[in-house]
Chains A and B, each alone.
Chain A
């Protein structure tokens, strides 16, 4: 088996030199994330503190450990060192860097400094050139792992000492693909974001019932239930499309914490309304009002996609279609089942009341987390 070998040859020790899969850890890596949106490219660069220590000696008091204070005090040095070793250029023109923040982050092999900065490019890229040379002079086995998000989706690349330069085509790879990827994104968002699903569920739970004089009675036919659901889902969609578009076009922008907390509150409201009627008027109107709020939430996803202006309309449309399809799938799963069991008292007690209470509780915890817990 491959292993360490010390051998004595003639005089003294020739220590060496054979070793195989005995390495306890992986070698040095840094993680670079670039998000291209228009002419701005937002960057986050996670660099292992161990590597920074080796390159520029962060442990200034030689205590054997690196504190946040030591890192913070050397922020400009760290940025200068790193920035010198990364160039992004657009169609041949270099993009100047603007540091925005310094954080830390845990990876599987220890703590990393997370450098946040922005490339202010002269224009939106058609071709993006990235030149990466961090640590290659002091550790040629270092790898730079790039995740690039932008028009045309996400891609990854690895920079090595032998492949330090790479070029990325940023022009949208076909209109259809971009539209369909937006549709997929929309569907994915409904199904991945449990808060929207719960909100929908809270609105849908009573749709096979009618409130009559303070008590719930089953609706008479499937058509009525469908009409009710259609009205609610349409109202919700129209509303979130409006605010989503406004936010994506940068007409209105709300702080994300407010929006996220507001969405949680809206879920609580919708669920509690099933237990105790608070919202006057039709549930359709409530869906519309709350849908306005959810639109702002969706817009965060679109920002993540990194859109150029000319793609925006197409992507907005695709995303809305996707959200709609996602919702439709949820309704198609829920409604027939609920309709079948609507006459059972158990549906009212466990399904409607219990379910709504559970949704309200979950959303209340979210609300507290999002509104008050600083992360």
Chain B
């Protein structure tokens, strides 16, 4: 009896201590604190010149933060200097792109402040404003700016290209294609070939689009590394839409060889590997890039699929980041957040809500896919009717998407 008592007490003590220890570790980590020492490093600033920009164009575009700071000071003294303002805005957008950091978009907007709220600002401002607006998913406002610009300057190739891409994201393939046609003769052949191929591959002609773009690529003069990476990545996407995963993978890898800093292509390649059940292979491509929300999402999915360690902690990190985004009222990440809710939190209902709201704004294949997946998982296939109708009308071919659509159709 006495021994039983002692044993019970000891076991209980042990359980208690372990439980408390883990409980305190689970506690909130967001409590403010005073660092113990002046030398403690609180924040490492991003390197003044991102790798990609340094390599780009022999340094012509990648002059780095020093130059940005100089221009910014100059503009502070002379805020009405339009050429300086547009130059600074453009450089900030490029910098933000190279670093995938949206803070630079706000800085670009700040440079354009004197003209930002004008109904008809100068042409350069219109293009930059449209660019900034589309990247915060204000597509209608962006298109209005582009249309105004093109009315004034019908030969602005960049405006036609941007317009085509925005329309394609919205799912308006006919108008998107019309914009590409206007690009012919204004931009070099490869650019307009890419523009057309991208739209065609979404509207029932993926195989021809792939062949056309591939031959334009092979005929083209030697390209800069960034342009090369862009075309290769596009070829990869189009090949996969045409059902040719092998070519898709080859192009993605070539694109990443040309520009390893390209987070977009890296995410697309990881998605391909995950889709093919090769999650373990995706992990090394994503590791050490946890700063990038999109790559972290793929890493966590791959880790989960491959039963690899680290997934649990990464789910927490992602949750915190999506929550922070949501708190500020951002809707830019809804597609990714829906994928997170469905694949990692296993909350099909909230994933479906997010996917639905996202579908109101953008209609890329990935947007259709998460909508269908969430509707299936939530056992509400009827709610995916708008997506099915859209895919039928546009003639989307990508085999995985088509198979998914067929399953949803059966379930209705």
Contact = CB atoms under 8 A, between A and B. Distances in A.
Interface of A: 1-9, 13-29, 44, 46, 49-51, 53-54, 59, 64-69, 71-72, 102-111, 114, 116, 137-143, 145, 158, 275, 349-350, 353-355, 357-362, 364-366, 369, 375
A142 B106 contact: yes
B102 interface: yes
Given A16-B158, A72-B38, A108-B323, A25 B9 contact: no
Interface in B1-51: 4-5, 8-9, 11-17, 19-21, 24, 29-35, 37-45, 47-48
A29 B332 contact: no
Given A111-B43, A141-B109, A16 B336 contact: no
8 smallest beta-carbon distances between A and B, as pairs: A361-B16, A69-B38, A141-B106, A139-B106, A24-B100, A24-B292, A103-B32, A357-B12
Give the size range of B's interface with the partner. 35 or more
Contacts of B295: 24
Nearest to B165: A18
B272 interface: no
A353 B9 contact: yes
B332 A65 contact: no
B305 interface: no
B237 interface: yes
Contacts of A365: 16-17, 20-21, 24
Contacts of B94: 15-16
A369 B186 CA distance: 70
Contacts, number: 282
B175 interface: no
A141 B324 contact: no
A72 B43 CA distance: 14
B293 interface: yes
A141 to B, nearest CB: 3
A359 B99 CA distance: 51
A67 B39 contact: yes
Nearest to B364: A1
Contacts of A67: 38-42
Nearest to B94: A15
B225 to A, nearest CB: 10
Contacts of B127: 17
A113 B107 CA distance: 21
Chain B interface mostly:
helix
B100 A25 contact: yes
A357 B8 contact: yes
Contacts of B102: 23, 25-27, 141
Chain A interface mostly:
mixed
A182 B179 CA distance: 61
Given A20-B169, A24-B263, A103-B32, A13 B136 contact: no
B110 interface: yes
Given A17-B127, A18-B162, A111-B43, A105 B31 contact: yes
22 contacts: A1-B365, A4-B230, A5-B165, A7-B158, A7-B191, A15-B61, A18-B165, A22-B267, A24-B294, A53-B43, A54-B103, A54-B107, A108-B324, A139-B110, A140-B113, A141-B103, A158-B329, A349-B8, A355-B12, A357-B12, A359-B16, A362-B17
Given A13-B224, A359-B16, A364-B16, 9 more contacts: A5-B165, A6-B230, A24-B295, A65-B41, A68-B40, A108-B317, A108-B320, A349-B5, A362-B16
Contacts of A137: 110, 113
Given A2-B364, A365-B20, A20 B134 contact: yes
A145 to B, nearest CB: 6
B90 interface: yes
Contact of A140 (B14, B110, B329, B364): B110
Contact of A7 (B9, B113, B135, B187): B187
Interface string B153-185: 000011001100110010000000000000000
A69 B43 CA distance: 12
B394 interface: no
